[in-house]
């Protein structure tokens, strides 16, 4: 599987674990919603800067974003992601 697809699936799982919409993630990361969609669909050439930004939002290591599928825990429980405001 291509690395972009792996990254996309990991970002999707982390976003779901954080109970975030694509719009919320885009706002937190200062990205466009379309770019977040492209990342999740494995269509974007994601930069190291964006990986680091996402890792900060999800409170995980960059390896959790670029690592092999299955490395992440199942989607269970509350968010580990940073939430802004109520």
pLDDT in tens, 23-75: 999 999 999 999 999 999 999 999 999 999 999 999 999 999 998 865 555 44
Top pLDDT among 16 and 78 is at 16
Query: pLDDT tens for residues 72-81?
Result: 554 433 444 4
Q: Residue 63 in contact with residue 71, Cβ under 8 Å?
A: yes
Top pLDDT among 6 and 69 is at 6
- 3-66 CATH, one of 1.20.120.1200, 3.30.428.10, 1.10.260.40, 3.40.1670.10: 1.10.260.40
pTM above 0.85, yes or no: no
Q: Residue 57 in contact with residue 19, Cβ under 8 Å?
A: no
Instruction: Show the tokens assigned to 5.
Output: 């697809």
Reported as a pLDDT band with limits 50, 70 and 90, residue 1 is confident
């Amino acid at each position: 599987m291509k690395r972009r697809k792996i990254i996309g699936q990991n970002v999707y799982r982390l976003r779901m674990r954080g109970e975030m919409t694509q719009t919320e993630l885009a706002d937190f990361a200062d990205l466009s919603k379309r770019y977040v969609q492209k990342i999740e669909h494995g269509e974007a050439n994601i930069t190291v800067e964006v990986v680091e930004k996402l890792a900060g939002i999800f409170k995980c290591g960059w390896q959790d974003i670029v690592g092999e599928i299955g490395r992440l825990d199942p989607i269970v429980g509350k968010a580990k992601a940073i939430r802004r405001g109520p």
